[in-house]
Amino acid sequence: MAKKNRMANEINAGSMADIAFLLLIFFLVTTTIAEDKGVLVKLPQWSEEPPPEMKLNTRNVYSVLVNAQNQLLVRGEIMDIKDLKNNTKIFIANPQKMENMAEAPTKAIISIKNDRGTKYQTYLEVYNELKAAYNELWEESAMVKFGKNLDELTNAQQREIRDAIPLVLSEAEPTKFGEEK
Amino acid sequence: MGKFKKKQGNTMAAISTASLPDIVFMLLFFFMVVTKMRDTELMVKINTPQASELTKLEKKTLVNFIFIGRPTDKFKAKFGTKPQIQLGDKFSSVDDIPLFLAKHKTTVPEGQRQSVISSLKIDNDVTMGIVGDVKTALRKAGQLKVNYSAKKRDRTK
């Protein structure tokens, strides 16, 4: 009789929580929440022969140099990185039809050059600002043309906007200054 | 006095903890689904810069990771303090990149090989010399889609 009573007893499930917590903590420690975001870049194709000489009107070229001291030289003048985006936007759109800025957004070319000693952080910031300038121009143009945000447009409409203001970013081979020994 | 004692006795009913495991298991499954296993141990210190124009990496299987940074304290004695490239779970040189990319390509189905993205996780402090070398190696290997890993920040005004 006593034996039967014991069999009928419930199994204590109190420790189940402990086991589950243990597993939970194990997963919390060994895993990383996926936070893989970044600046997407398309590198140019590699070719052994030097790129073809191209006659470019200097007014269409926006040259950005970043030196080993992480200073910016934009079209021959020192610039703060905070002003880079807005100045780039003005250069591409050229709302006042200035003589020394891009003839048309389709003709604008951005050129970056850095030293081998340039800090990666600065380089990425510069790249990011230039990309931001284009993104903002696209967003503004989407508002003007279609009255909608850029991401609400269809793919064809987005392409139309991007073709009107194409992102042309050329990167020159870095110069050998300031390399870490 | 007697009144107080009686009240206390009434509230002492045991709360059933039987549903606790279920709750914890639910949490456990949530984390198992949301997170991914840390498959490679980082041997270099990486603190990615901040940027505003970010793109999310969608398909994890199509991404290979290249780490560049200074060796962590554990590896300092052996590999020095100069920035190093880590491919997979070992320190490598620029020359190892083509093989690394080719190895990763074999794990990707044939039709999706042109959409493989290289995620470059590079430390703030690294100079562009080594980054430029890696970029050249990637271009030579035909791996042109690159994602510079960064943290989210707001756009500058």
Q: What is the pLDDT of residues B12-49, one digit of tens each?
A: 677 777 787 788 888 888 877 776 666 677 889 999 99
Give the rounded percent of residues in chain A with a pLDDT score beyond 90. Answer: 23
Instruction: Indicate if the pLDDT at residue B4 is higher than 50.
Output: yes
CA distance B29 to B45: 31
Structural domain includes residue A26: no
Backbone angles phi, psi at B47, to 5 degrees: -125, 100
Residue A1: predicted pLDDT: 47
Q: Helix or strand or coil: residue B35?
A: strand
> Nearest residue of A to residue B15 by CA position?
A14
Structural domain includes residue A149: yes
Structural domain includes residue A47: no
Q: What is the pLDDT of residues A31-57, one digit of tens each?
A: 666 567 889 988 888 888 777 777 778
Asked if residue A67 lies in contact with residue A118, where contact means CB atoms within 8 angstroms, the answer is yes
Q: What is the pLDDT of residues A113-143, one digit of tens each?
A: 988 889 999 999 999 999 999 999 999 999 9
Structural domain includes residue A77: yes
Summarize the confidence of residues B58-86 as an average pLDDT.
Answer: 89
Mean pLDDT taken over chain A = 84
CA geometry: angle A68, A72, A75, nearest 5 deg: 125
Residue A170 CB neighbour total at 10 angstroms: 13
CA distance B60 to B116: 10
Nearest by CB to B150, which of A39, A119, A174? A39
**ipTM of predicted assembly, 2 dp:** 0.75
Summarize the confidence of residues B112-117 as an average pLDDT.
Answer: 90
CA distance B88 to B121: 12
Q: With an 8 Å Cβ cutoff, are A125 and B146 in contact? A: no
CA distance A86 to A90: 6
Residue B6: predicted pLDDT: 52
Asked if residue A89 lies in contact with residue A137, where contact means CB atoms within 8 angstroms, the answer is yes
Nearest by CB to B139, which of A17, A36, A44? A44
* Domains identified in chain A, total number: 1
Q: With an 8 Å Cβ cutoff, are B128 and A120 in contact? A: yes
CA distance B49 to A153: 31
Domain ranges of chain B: 44-152
Q: What architecture is the B44-152 domain classified under in CATH?
A: 2-Layer Sandwich (3.30)
Owning domain of residue A124: 58-171
